């Protein structure tokens, strides 16, 4: 009964989404006030029904209702409750429902928090989001119904994929989806502004906090995903340039460009047309990511060709969304030319350079991700494009970006002079050069790559902090710091995050060491200044798995610094062997041990040992960036604008009367 | 549809099964060991969804690791080992795609994009610099006209 209720709620949500996608938009076009006023209540009602559907599926999981195909395929009576809840978004059908839920939540949030936006504009925004919602609800109901019943329900379910039975992966998809789908708000604002023919600073101001919040979620999602891959996949890597990872990274890169471009559009009215295009791209890449991950095209072009139903649906949806918005863009582009002028040396040029490098990087990653699919489709042979390619093209693009970051933030809007910039930047440049060249001496051995990494890290840190000094001018530094708005603090925090990330990524890849060894109980091996002593392996039982649990003690200079417990688990239902690494996390290094297999009768095992300096900095950097985005999104002026309009509201009405 | 799901499922098993097998090979020199590590990191496990030899637990990957180890120990150069692998398994085995006609666009594409991007940047900046400040709005025109008329009144 409950699953049928969920299905019914989905159908009602679809009907409401159809209303939401049409009447408010037409109303805004023809000036029909009651239709415009429909936007808010219809969007909120749609949210309500999607929530009901979502709760029904969650109930089916908690109730162990294996007559529902999706529950039977992804749950089990022994599955812990946390994973029964997160299992709802663990596979295809449920994750689409989660996508739809996220979209409704964002739409609901827009109706609640956009009081300063004129009613007609809001109606168009909500209408565009309704169109996207229609697409996803149709997709779900026609090709991927999560509530489909089984004629002969099994006694027990097939269990959730063990890889997903982990707290990290329980929260990774919701964060990622909030980010992906969040870009639909920036997209909807851009489309709505084009429909209304009003692309002004106000539009950029309304879009900015939404874009930043979506970007914060996406950043956190990627950070958690990378961290999860590090400890769960057992190979100690933190980024593999896997197509699924790239699918989340592409919208992130364009989203980053969009945030910077929106800054120029809001502050100076510059690059309007370009900003609109970036908003369209960011959301299109989110949809493309969904297509890549959900259509099966990545596992093999042939798997896609033999069962194209889902893939073709998303492909058509993608073509309609991207094609439709680009058509609208080409029609409106001539009217949205920006007329502001700026000099070659100015912050505008800096932001454009940021955009060019980020978009070129996006293009390169997209090319590498899609190229194997293209050659296979065109029968040019099967090829692999992996980390060696991506590192070769991506890193050289990021080095100038990081260098330009220090200059860009310091440049004046509109007009600056090269001499002025050199005068401002020579001190941080000098200090960064000296520190960058000297600090690698503290490392196990001198490495030029490490010198470059550290120079870039210090350069970004110092120029970012110098920004306060520059802000103060002839005034006092403390008052400059006190009066810095949240937007400024967000920029500073985010850029410091880049510095932390660069240092982490660079030093980890240069100074990490690893070794595959065979150890008898009691035997030890020395790696990265630490002695790893293997004590042996015992059996252990988990709720739905049995495990072999090793114990390894790590010593430094004779002192015990950590006791590690790497595990090998076999999940009973899916009989899938899994490795759980034993990790001792530290600010300056991680010790990481993965269990291999038993060798002979003596209790000896093969083990993989890692010493990974600065690896935490990668995720700390990401967290800093996310924090920066959050601080910037809460800048007072977004709320001031809202309050002013609310205050102006009654007076304006009285004046009209 | 169920066939697709099965395929995805099998691949997931393949992915999940990784990370277990660890061989403790002994090398003659640190240089050989570094060479081996680089090779198994850049060669692909052919039966897995997307994993290199180093991280894969599939039997084929173990075999290929052993082959790589034996060839490194026998003093074969990296080129010889890679050629051997490509002859047997095709370009698919290489995570660093070779530069040839079918991959030309892959390797050159990013540079073309960068040139286009920087060219567009320069074009936009130089063009905007030449553009005069925006023309006056009608209101400003009106105000200017009024000011001029006042002047004319004073100086008949």
Test B94 with A384 for CB contact under 8 angstroms: yes
Test B106 with A389 for CB contact under 8 angstroms: yes
Lowest-confidence segment of A528-532, A643-647, B77-81 by average pLDDT: A643-647
**Three-state secondary structure along A534-565?**
EEEEEEEECCCEEEEEEEEEEEECCEEEEEEC
Closest C-alpha to A180, from A325, A294, A332: A294
Test B19 with A237 for CB contact under 8 angstroms: no
Test A371 with B103 for CB contact under 8 angstroms: yes
The two beta strands, A582-584 and A576-580, are unpaired
CB A89 within 8 A of CB A5: no
Size of interface A-B (CB pairs under 8 A): 169
In this predicted structure, the answer to whether residue B6 has a pLDDT above a threshold of 90 is no
Using the Cβ of A312 and the Cβ atoms of chain B, whether some distance falls under 8 Å is answered with: no
Q: What is the Cβ-side half-sphere exposure of residue A547, based on CA atoms within 13 angstroms?
A: 20
* CA separation for the pair B18, B51 (Å, rounded): 9
In this predicted structure, the answer to whether residue A398 has a pLDDT above a threshold of 70 is yes
User: Least CA distance to A271: which residue of chain B?
Assistant: B124
* CA separation for the pair A7, B12 (Å, rounded): 29
Closest C-alpha to A346, from A271, A276, A400, A290: A271
In this predicted structure, the answer to whether residue A217 has a pLDDT above a threshold of 80 is yes
**Token pair in block for residue A328:** 């609208």
Test B20 with A574 for CB contact under 8 angstroms: no
In this predicted structure, the answer to whether residue B1 has a pLDDT above a threshold of 60 is no
Strand, helix or coil for residue B27: coil
Cα torsion B60, B65, B68, B70: sign: negative
Test A340 with B134 for CB contact under 8 angstroms: yes
Please count the other Cβ atoms lying within 10 Å of the Cβ belonging to residue A418. Answer: 10
| Element spanning A358, H or E | helix A347-377
Residue from A242, A361, A383 whose CB has the most chain B CBs within 10 Å, to mutate: A383
Closest C-alpha to A505, from A628, A398, A585: A398
Test A516 with B22 for CB contact under 8 angstroms: yes
**Token pair in block for residue A628:** 């920066």
User: Least CA distance to B135: which residue of chain A?
Assistant: A339
CB A74 within 8 A of CB A158: yes
Burial class (CB in 10 A: 0-12, 13-18, 19+), A108: buried
Lowest-confidence segment of A66-80, A103-117, A237-251, A641-655 by average pLDDT: A641-655
**Token pair in block for residue A146:** 């999560």
Nearest CA-CA distance, residue B73 and chain A, Å: 17
In this predicted structure, the answer to whether residue B9 has a pLDDT above a threshold of 60 is no
> Which is higher by pLDDT, B141 or B120?
B120
Closest C-alpha to A198, from A334, A323, A335: A335
Q: How confident is the model at residue A652, as a pLDDT? A: 37
- Read off the pLDDT of each residue in A410-429 and give the average, rounded to a whole number: 87
* CA separation for the pair A25, A195 (Å, rounded): 9
* CA separation for the pair A415, A410 (Å, rounded): 12
User: Least CA distance to B127: which residue of chain A?
Assistant: A341
pLDDT tens sequence across A8-22:
999 999 999 999 999
Phi first, then psi, for residue A417 (nearest 5°) are -125, 150
pLDDT tens sequence across A324-382:
999 999 988 777 766 677 888 888 889 999 999 999 999 999 999 999 989 988 888 88
Nearest CA-CA distance, residue A233 and chain B, Å: 7
* CA separation for the pair A371, A298 (Å, rounded): 11
Lowest-confidence segment of A256-265, A381-390, A410-419, A449-458 by average pLDDT: A410-419
**Token pair in block for residue A439:** 């600090």
* CA separation for the pair A364, A358 (Å, rounded): 10
In this predicted structure, the answer to whether residue B65 has a pLDDT above a threshold of 70 is yes
Test B4 with A307 for CB contact under 8 angstroms: yes
**Token pair in block for residue A544:** 């739905």
Nearest CA-CA distance, residue A381 and chain B, Å: 8
For chain A, what is the mean pLDDT? Answer: 89
* CA separation for the pair A442, A446 (Å, rounded): 8
* CA separation for the pair A643, A13 (Å, rounded): 32
Structure confidence at residue A300 as a pLDDT band (50, 70, 90): low
Q: How many residues does chain A have?
A: 657
pLDDT tens sequence across A461-502:
999 998 888 888 878 888 888 888 898 999 999 999 999 999
Strand, helix or coil for residue B53: coil
Residue from A238, A253, A386, A408 whose CB has the most chain B CBs within 10 Å, to mutate: A386
| A296, A343, A352 member nearest B129 (Cβ) | A343
Phi first, then psi, for residue A300 (nearest 5°) are -170, 140
Report chain B residues whose CB lies below 8 A from the CB of A302.
none
Structure confidence at residue B130 as a pLDDT band (50, 70, 90): low
Report chain A residues whose CB lies below 8 A from the CB of B22.
516, 594, 596-597, 606-608
CB A307 within 8 A of CB A295: no
Report chain A residues whose CB lies below 8 A from the CB of B106.
367-368, 371, 385, 389
| Helix, strand, coil fractions of chain A, as percent rounded to 5 | 70, 10, 20
Q: How confident is the model at residue A303, as a pLDDT? A: 58
Test A356 with B118 for CB contact under 8 angstroms: yes
Using the Cβ of A386 and the Cβ atoms of chain B, whether some distance falls under 8 Å is answered with: yes
User: Least CA distance to A143: which residue of chain B?
Assistant: B1
User: Least CA distance to B120: which residue of chain A?
Assistant: A356
Crossing angle of the two packed helices A243-268 and A167-196, in degrees rounded to 10: 40
CATH 1.10.8.640, applies to B2-98: yes
Report chain A residues whose CB lies below 8 A from the CB of B42.
386-388
Please name the residues between 98 and 137 in chain A that touch chain B, using a CB distance below 8 Å.
none
Q: How confident is the model at residue A477, as a pLDDT? A: 85
pLDDT tens sequence across A541-591:
888 888 999 999 999 998 999 999 999 888 888 777 788 889 999 999 999
Report chain B residues whose CB lies below 8 A from the CB of A578.
16
In this predicted structure, the answer to whether residue B17 has a pLDDT above a threshold of 50 is no
**Token pair in block for residue A280:** 């369209």
Report chain A residues whose CB lies below 8 A from the CB of B13.
574, 576
- Name residues whose C-beta falls within 8 Å of residue A257's C-beta, 6 or more positions apart in sequence: A278, A354, A355, A358, A359, A362
* CA separation for the pair A333, A276 (Å, rounded): 9
Cα torsion B58, A580, A250, A501: sign: negative
**Three-state secondary structure along A104-133?**
HHHHHHHHHHCCCCCHHHHHHHHHHHHHHH
Domain boundaries, chain B: 2-98, 102-154
Nearest CA-CA distance, residue B149 and chain A, Å: 29
Test B22 with A296 for CB contact under 8 angstroms: no
Report chain B residues whose CB lies below 8 A from the CB of A607.
22
Nearest CA-CA distance, residue B58 and chain A, Å: 12
- Read off the pLDDT of each residue in A58-71 and give the average, rounded to a whole number: 95
In this predicted structure, the answer to whether residue A202 has a pLDDT above a threshold of 80 is yes
Taking CA A460 as the corner, what is the angle to CA A590 and CA A255, rounded to the nearest 5 degrees? 85
- Read off the pLDDT of each residue in A604-628 and give the average, rounded to a whole number: 95
pTM for this prediction: 0.90
Share of chain A above pLDDT 90, in %: 63
In this predicted structure, the answer to whether residue B149 has a pLDDT above a threshold of 80 is no
> Which is higher by pLDDT, A440 or B19?
A440
**Token pair in block for residue A95:** 């994750």
| A359, A385, A596 member nearest B21 (Cβ) | A596
Closest C-alpha to A510, from A548, A454, A566, A470: A454
* CA separation for the pair A303, A295 (Å, rounded): 9
Report chain B residues whose CB lies below 8 A from the CB of A580.
none
Test A360 with B110 for CB contact under 8 angstroms: yes
Test B91 with A353 for CB contact under 8 angstroms: no
Residue from A160, A312, A360, A378 whose CB has the most chain B CBs within 10 Å, to mutate: A360
Please name the residues between 232 and 261 in chain A that touch chain B, using a CB distance below 8 Å.
233-235, 237, 240, 242-243
Test B22 with A594 for CB contact under 8 angstroms: yes
- Name residues whose C-beta falls within 8 Å of residue A492's C-beta, 6 or more positions apart in sequence: A464, A465, A467, A468, A484, A628
User: Least CA distance to B102: which residue of chain A?
Assistant: A380
In this predicted structure, the answer to whether residue B20 has a pLDDT above a threshold of 60 is no
In this predicted structure, the answer to whether residue A146 has a pLDDT above a threshold of 60 is yes
Share of chain A above pLDDT 70, in %: 95
* CA separation for the pair A190, A333 (Å, rounded): 12
Q: How confident is the model at residue B148, as a pLDDT? A: 55
Q: How confident is the model at residue B143, as a pLDDT? A: 65
Closest C-alpha to B5, from A506, A454, A143, A318: A143
Q: How confident is the model at residue B140, as a pLDDT? A: 63
In this predicted structure, the answer to whether residue B13 has a pLDDT above a threshold of 50 is no
């Amino acid at each position: 009964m409950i699953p049928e209720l969920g299905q019914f709620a989905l159908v009602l949500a679809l009907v409401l989404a159809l209303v939401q996608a049409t009447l408010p938009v037409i109303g805004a076009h023809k000036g029909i006030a009651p239709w415009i006023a429909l936007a808010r209540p219809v969007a909120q009602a749609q949210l309500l029904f999607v929530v009901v559907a979502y709760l029904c599926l969650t109930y089916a999981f908690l109730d162990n209702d294996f007559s529902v195909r999706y529950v039977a395929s992804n749950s089990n009576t022994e599955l812990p409750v946390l994973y029964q809840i997160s299992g709802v978004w663990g596979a295809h059908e449920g994750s689409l429902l989660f996508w739809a839920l996220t979209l409704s939540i964002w739409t609901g949030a827009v109706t609640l928090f956009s009081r300063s936006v004129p009613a007609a504009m809001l109606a168009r925004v909500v209408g565009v989001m309704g169109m996207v919602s229609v697409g996803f609800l149709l997709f779900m109901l026609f090709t991927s119904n999560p509530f489909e019943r089984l004629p002969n329900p099994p006694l027990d379910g097939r269990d959730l994929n063990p890889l997903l039975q982990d707290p990290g992966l329980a929260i990774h998809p919701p964060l990622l989806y909030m980010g992906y789908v969040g870009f639909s708000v920036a997209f909807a604002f851009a489309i709505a502004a084009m429909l209304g023919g009003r692309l002004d600073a106000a539009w950029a101001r309304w879009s900015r906090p939404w874009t930043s919040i979506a970007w914060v979620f996406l950043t956190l999602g990627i950070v958690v995903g990378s961290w999860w891959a590090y400890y769960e996949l057992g190979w100690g890597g933190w980024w593999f340039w896997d197509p699924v990872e790239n699918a989340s990274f592409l919208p992130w890169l364009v989203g980053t460009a969009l945030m910077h471009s929106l800054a120029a559009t809001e502050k100076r009215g510059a690059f309007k047309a370009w900003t609109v295009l970036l908003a369209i791209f960011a959301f299109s890449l989110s949809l493309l990511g969904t297509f890549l991950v959900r259509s099966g095209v990545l596992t093999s072009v042939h798997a896609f060709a033999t069962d194209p139903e889902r893939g073709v649906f998303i492909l058509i949806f993608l073509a309609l969304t991207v094609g439709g918005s680009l058509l609208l863009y080409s029609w409106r582009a001539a009217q949205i030319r920006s007329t502001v002028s700026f000099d070659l040396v100015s912050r505008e040029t800096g932001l454009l350079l940021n955009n060019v490098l980020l978009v070129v990087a996006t293009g390169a990653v997209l090319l590498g991700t899609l190229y194997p699919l293209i050659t296979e489709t065109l029968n040019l042979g099967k090829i692999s494009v992996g980390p060696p390619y991506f590192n070769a093209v991506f890193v050289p693009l990021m080095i100038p970006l990081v260098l330009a970051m220090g200059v860009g933030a310091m440049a004046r809007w509109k007009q600056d002079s090269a001499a002025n910039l050199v005068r401002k930047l020579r001190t941080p440049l000098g200090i960064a050069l000296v520190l960058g060249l000297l600090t690698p001496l503290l490392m196990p051995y001198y490495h030029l790559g490490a010198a470059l990494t550290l120079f870039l890290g210090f350069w970004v840190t110092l120029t970012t902090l110098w920004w306060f000094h520059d802000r103060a001018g002839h005034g006092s530094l403390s008052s400059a710091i006190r009066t810095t708005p949240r937007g400024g603090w967000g920029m500073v925090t985010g850029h410091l995050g880049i510095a932390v990330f660069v240092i982490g990524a660079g030093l980890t890849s240069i100074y990490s060491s690893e070794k595959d060894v065979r150890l008898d109980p009691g035997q030890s091996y020395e790696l990265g200044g630490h002695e790893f002593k293997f004590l042996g392996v015992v059996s252990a039982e988990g709720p739905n798995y049995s495990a072999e649990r090793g114990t390894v003690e790590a010593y430094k200079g004779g002192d015990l610094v950590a006791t590690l417990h790497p595990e090998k688990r076999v999940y009973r239902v899916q009989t899938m062997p899994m490795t759980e690494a034993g990790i001792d996390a530290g600010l300056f290094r991680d010790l990481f041990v993965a269990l291999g297999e038993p060798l002979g009768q003596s209790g000896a095992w093969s083990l993989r040992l890692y010493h990974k300096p600065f690896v935490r900095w990668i995720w700390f950097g990401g967290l800093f960036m996310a924090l920066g985005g959050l601080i910037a999104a809460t800048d007072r002026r977004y709320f001031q604008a809202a309050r002013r309009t609310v205050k102006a509201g009654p007076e304006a009405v009285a004046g009209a009367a | 549809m169920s066939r697709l799901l099965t395929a995805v499922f099998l691949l997931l098993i393949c992915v999940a099964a990784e990370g277990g097998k660890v061989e403790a090979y002994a090398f003659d020199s640190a240089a050989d060991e570094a060479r081996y590590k680089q090779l198994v990191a850049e060669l692909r496990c052919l039966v897995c969804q997307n994993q290199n030899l180093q991280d894969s637990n599939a039997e084929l990957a173990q075999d290929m690791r052993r082959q790589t180890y034996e060839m490194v120990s026998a003093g074969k150069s990296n080129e010889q080992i890679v050629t051997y692998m490509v002859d047997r398994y095709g370009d698919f085995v290489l995570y660093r795609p070779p530069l040839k006609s079918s991959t030309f666009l892959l390797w050159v594409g990013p540079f073309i994009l960068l040139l286009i991007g920087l060219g567009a940047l320069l074009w936009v900046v130089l063009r905007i610099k030449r553009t005069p400040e925006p023309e006056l709005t009608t209101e400003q025109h009106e105000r200017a006209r009024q000011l001029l008329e006042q002047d004319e009144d004073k100086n008949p």
